[in-house]
Amino acid sequence: MHREQLHEKVCHHLQTIYADVSLSMPVGQLAETLMDTIGLHRDDDITPPAPHSNQWNEEDVVMITYGDSVVREAEHPLKTLDHFLHTYCRNTINKVHILPFFPYSSDDGFSVIDYSSVNESLGDWDDIESLSKDYGLMFDLVINHCSARSGWFDNFIKNDGPGSDFFYTASPSDDLSMVTRPRVSPLLRETQCEDGVKYVWCTFSHDQVDFDFRNPKVLIAFVEIIRLYIDKGAKLFRLDAVAFLWKVIGTNCINLPQTHEMIRLLRTLIEHVDPGIIIITETNIPNRENLTYFGNANEAHAIYNFSLPPLLVNTLVTGDCTYLKNWMMSMPPAQNGTTYFNFIASHDGIGLRPAEGLLSDEEISTLVHSMQRFGGKVSWRSSDHGQQKPYEINITLFEACQGTNKGPDKFQVDRFICAHAIMLGMEGIPGLYIHSLVGTGNDYEKVANTGQNRSINRKRWDFDELAALLDSPYSQHHKVLTRLSQLIRIRKAQRAFHPNATQYTLQLGEAVFGYWRQSLDRKQSVFCVSNISDTEQAVLLSDINLIGTDHWIDLISRAPIDNLSNFLQLKPYQTVWISNQDWE
């Protein structure tokens, strides 16, 4: 009986998505095809997933990495990555986001040539499946576009075979003035095909050609890909650039209702195959729009907290947490079955669109200037009025923390650790970029070699060179990894740091940022308090509102907090996690 109900639900999704499209097959037939393709066959016992179920807890920490961020001669980089994880991330990392590891032609993997195979330069499916035995793996589903060198696009040009009708085209005479663009390249790519010139839609670059999901064959192809990835060990799916998926001429072509319904459809299919799989939407857009991807706990399980990186970096370089605090108070608690994915560094830069409406243009300009002073680059986009606006800052987080708006200073490591301490205690699942974990600096050589600003934060480490630095107690890399590993291990032991535990923002002035977390069973409280300035700060313990009958301890330093009428002295960029000791 449940299969009939599931079929009805899938049909409802499809009717909503394709309401304005003439389909080549009945909706019921398409629903059956999708269910069979994902592996929900007629004779299967299909159990609906429990609603509002959290498939995560405080022990979940994700490392974000390329398949070849660490390499060693005569070894598949994916095997080297496995060795790195076992050597340096034991008892800290339990989930790994391996950025696109498929054959590609540009954008460091996000211009996929073949979705069904592993890039030979990285390894093979056996290497992926080996990693999946020890870590929950996040796979990228690069769903908006593929490489112009893919077999599908070759068939599009030839007008023959699979892919011949997979791509979105428009006319230069169409009104495209409202289309939201993340890049400055022309939107349409003139392409000579067997049946004439066509103008192919390219949201990101002319090597990244956009799919036309009005054609249900594209949807079927991606459901086949999803099934393959599940079979190969995927436990998290990152839907890359999904906000741009559906296009309607005359609109802004971003966040359209059909896009949201498509995500709901994919969730319905995936969670009936494995209710433990998590869907994360990568939507680098203003904060209020980003929040819509939770749906009503029926869309993304998790959304990237894109506003956190620019707001946190701005906080640390200005010594003023006002904007971060105001934003945090405005963020709705994620209901059970949904959560935030927190990160402060990634393979991309520090996105500035999610700061729009939170920071003024002048404040963004000051932030950009400071990051350029620290060796950062800037990527630009065209605004709705054709103006050039900064789209993201390209810099490693370690270098972004080298000083304040006044210039570089001696607090780089402490400021960097403070940033992570704030992120690790927050509501949500934390994600740490491998280059933050090991304190990597700006890679200017790679920028020069590729001509791409984003390469500044995509260094490829020789494993033996990195290992020597990580094993040396005097290197910045050793200090960073040691201190971050300590924070992660502490985090994983606290029930108050469950991604859905209660969070309340504290009011401790401009220079001190704080929030309170309480475990779901209400037995443990942790007060997370950080000095985000370059001068010592004194906080009256009574202002934090610690309960006098409890015993309190700083989980990081292990120092007891005794006299609650005293002041708490915080060194520049020091964080304390004050917990009641009877939480166990």
Does the pLDDT at position 546 exceed 90?
no
Told to judge if 240 belongs to the known catalytic residues of this protein, a careful annotator would answer yes
What integer pLDDT is reported at residue 565 of this predicted model? 77
Residue position matching structure tokens 């020091």 = 574
Q: pLDDT digit string (tens) for 476-511?
A: 999 999 999 999 999 999 999 999 999 999 999 999
Q: pLDDT digit string (tens) for 88-99?
A: 999 999 999 999
> 502-583: what fold?
Immunoglobulin-like (2.60.40)
The 3-state DSSP class for residue 333 equals coil
Query: Given this structure, which CATH class describes domain 145-210?
Result: alpha beta
Does the pLDDT at position 584 exceed 60?
no
Q: pLDDT digit string (tens) for 207-229?
A: 999 999 999 999 999 999 999 99
Domains 145-210 and 502-583 share a fold: no
> Annotated binding residues for substrate, as ranges?
107, 145, 238-240, 347-348, 454
Maximum C-alpha span of the chain: 81
Q: Which of 127, 140, 240, 554 is catalytic?
A: 240
DSSP string spanning 235-290? EEEEEETGGGS---TTS--SS-HHHHHHHHHHHHHHHHH-TT-EEEE---S-HHHH
Does the pLDDT at position 391 exceed 90?
no
DSSP string spanning 117-171? S--TTT--HHHHHHHHTTSEEEEEEE-SEEETTSHHHHHHHHT-STTTT-B-B--
Does the pLDDT at position 402 exceed 70?
yes
> Annotated binding residues, as ranges?
107, 145, 238-240, 347-348, 454
What integer pLDDT is reported at residue 496 of this predicted model? 97
Token pair for 463 = 């494993």
Give the pTM: 0.96
Percent of the chain at pLDDT exceeding 70: 98
Annotated domain spans of the chain: 145-210, 502-583
